[in-house]
Structure 1
Amino acid sequence: MDIIISSYKDENHQFNFTHNLSQPPNTNINVHIHDQYELYYFLSGDVIYYIEGQTYKLQSNDILIMNNRELHKPNFESLKDYERIAIHFLPEYVTSFQGKTYDILKSYEKRKLGFFNHFSAEEVARYNIPRHIDKIEKHIDKNSEERHVMIKTIFIQMLVKLNQIFSMKINSGEHAKTYEYDSKIVEILDFINNNLGQKITLDLLEKKFYVSKYYLCHVFKKNTGFTIMEYVIHKRVMKAKELLQMQTPVIDTCNAVGFNDYSNFYKVFKKLTGVSPREFSR
């Protein structure tokens, strides 16, 4: 059973806040593809979260951030009650706060995919982020006429706090010291993301990276939570969405992201997005 504790959308549908409790969690959650950026605040459960080759065993009050190019999904280690707060927002929601000398979306955009996504409960508490989240939820409950303004200004303060933690992590070299990752997998992820228009097969990856394709399948799934072909297909659809938003013709988009066969592109795109490529581009 999924209980919605609180929820909110801004007037322009650029910001969405949801506080959910699942009893038990839905263990069939598929790979996430969002047009929005996400701030995920973990409250309780038994969850391992996969983001672009990184694996995080979550602790209560941890925060994860993901931009719209990062594949991510949770994996449940047990059926323990699962509570979390998810904030989805479009970059346009905060563009009025962008300055020439300050990037309000620095923590989301100024990093390599799959790096610096995790903010520990200790860091989150040190910067008083839970207090900001509580304030947002209180304004949601009040349903006052000023709540849109108050929620937005509090959220902007949260982004500033995340930027401060992000800068601290970079300056301390924390990622290199704290997180273990398979360098071969990172190389393969980079190759896939830079060659989505090319034919990518297990045989190709085996030859290029000098590793058995059978072992590669095992290690890739272990490190990312996805099969190789699942990852490739989702990344192609994500890239296709980018191109279609730039008004690239549908057939050109199909070829540019490595599908070549339009009927297959159509089926996969509609399955993952819910609309056809032409409908999406309108």
Structure 2
Amino acid sequence: MTSNTDYQKKDGPDMARGKVPTMAADDSRQYMLNENFEIYEKFGVPSGATEMHFHNFNEILYIIEGQYTVLLNNTTYHLKQGDCLLIGQNQLHHYQHEPEQHDACRRILMWVSDSYLEQLSSPDTKLSHCLSYPYPAWHLPTPDRKRLEQYLTNLLYLEADSLMPRGEARLLKNAYITLFFICLNQICRHSELALTTENTCIHPMIRVLTDFINEHISEPITLDMLAKQAGSSKYHFVRSFKKLTGMTVHDFVTHKRIIKACEMIWDGQPLGDIYQFCGFSDYSSFFRNFKSIYGISPSDFKAFYEKEPLS
């Protein structure tokens, strides 16, 4: 169940000016209320959206204080103060709980669409370039950390300022987001700033399963087939997969099929071809699963992405 976003006054030097938008720990919402951009501050251990999931937008996770752990695709990232995780659209990920490690975690969560970043980019500067690097997690040097935190703080207070004229607020938001992503692009050119292997854990099983599902996306995929790929008994495979990802094997396969369907919708392919190629037995099954994940029908999703981008 989605909780309402509340506004609270935070103690500390960088949050002392007033109210900022926060997202409750039990908020399970994984869709944007606005069309192109949202930003929140979050605290402590999340109790909502703990299964693997994906978005049709990009997610930037910045750790202000404490520690936090995320499984992204087939790798677990152990994040700490000053770390930034870049999650592109349609990337499967979820929070991984570590007892007594994340209670004091304070972080900023930014959601931003590709179309919005494209609007803010120039012909020779693509703001979303940082999301295309093979390393999604970065540990920021102190000067860069201060710059990014300032841009994020400005965006948080801007979202909470109801008195500023809309035109001024829009220009400032565009400016802060542009500066933030230019700074990220500069950081990502330095591979030595990527999170080291001692702060990551690779899970080969997820990579093997993902490759197998992608290669057989149009076909029926059974539990026996996937357990064989994982090299374990069906019983052990089901338990270990659920423990690692927070979701069932069946749901994982369904999510991968829907991700492929989204990519085909963005490519402009007809829905009648998409559901068959993605391995759904009929359109009603495709419709039901798509709406369960995205909250809207495939045709509404397709219509939304065929609209002219907003300025």
Alignment of 1:52-91 (within 5 A): 52-76=73-97, 77=99, 80=103, 83-91=106-114
Shifted more, 217-226 versus 232-241: the winner is: 217-226
Match of 1:109 in 2: 132
Instruction: From the superposition, tell whether residues 74 and 44 of structure 1 become closer, same or farther in structure 2 (CA, over 3 Å).
Output: farther
1:245, distance to aligned residue in structure 2 (A) = 4.0
The residue aligned with 1:92 is 115
Give the counterpart letter for 2:212 in structure 1.
F
Q: Cα 1:222–1:155, aligned 2, differ >3 Å: closer, same or farther? A: same
TM-superposed CA distance for 1:95, in Å, is 1.6
Report how far residue 259 of structure 1 moved.
Answer: 1.1
Q: Residue in 2 aligned with 1:18?
A: 40
Partner residue in 1 for 2:152: 133
Correspondence for 2:301: 280
The change in CA–CA distance for 1:149 and 1:172 in structure 2 (over 3 A counts) is: closer
Alpha carbons of structure 1 residues 179 and 44: separation in structure 2 relative to 1, 3 Å: closer
| Structure 1 runs not aligned, ≥5 long | none
Q: Which amino acid aligns with 2:174?
A: K
Indicate yes or no: 2:137 matched with 1:118.
yes
Bigger Cα displacement from structure 2, 264-273 vs 210-219: 210-219
- Is 2:216 aligned against 1:195? yes
CA separation of 1:124 and 1:3: change in aligned 2, threshold 3 A: farther
TM-score normalised per structure 1: 0.79
TM-score under structure 2 normalisation?
0.72
CA pair 271-55 structure 1, distance change in 2 beyond 3 A: same
Aligned ranges for residues 227-266 of structure 1 at < 5 Å? 227-266=248-287
1:123 deviation in Å? 6.8
User: Could you say if the C-alpha distance between residues 253 and 4 of structure 1 is closer, same or farther in structure 2, counting changes exceeding 3 Å?
Assistant: farther
* C-alpha separation in 1, matches of 2:119 and 2:268: 25
Q: Where does residue 168 of structure 1 map in the other structure?
A: 190
Cα 1:176–1:99 change in 2 (3 A) is farther
Counterpart contact for 1:44–1:84, Cα < 8 Å: yes
Q: Percent identity?
A: 24
Q: 5+ unaligned residues in a row in structure 2: which ranges?
A: 9-19, 23-33, 304-311
CA separation in 1, counterparts of 2:219 and 2:103? Answer: 42
Distance 2:58 2:111 in 1: 6
Distance 1:226-1:29 versus aligned 2 partners, 3 A rule: closer
Q: Secondary structure at the match of 2:80?
A: coil
Distance 1:274 1:109, change over 3 A: same
- From the superposition, tell whether residues 123 and 163 of structure 1 become closer, same or farther in structure 2 (CA, over 3 Å): farther
The secondary structure found in structure 1 opposite 2:224 is helix
Distance change in 2, residues 1:165/1:219 (3 Å): farther
Q: What is the aligned residue count?
A: 274
Secondary structure, counterpart of 1:128 in structure 2: helix
> Alpha-carbon deviation of 1:149?
1.4
SS at match of 2:40: strand
CA distance change for structure 1 residues 137 and 121 in 2, over 3 Å: closer, same or farther? same
- The aligned amino acid for 1:269 is F
1:57 CA drift (Å): 3.1
**Amino acid aligned to 2:298:** P
User: Residue type of the partner of 1:88?
Assistant: W
Change over 3 Å in CA distance of 1:49–1:99 after alignment to 2: same
1:226 is displaced (CA, Å) by 3.5
1:149 aligns with 2:171: yes
Contact 1:266 1:277 in 2 (8 A): yes
Closer/same/farther in 2, CA of residues 218 and 163 from structure 1, 3 Å limit: farther
Counterpart-to-counterpart distance in 1, 2:139 and 2:244: 20
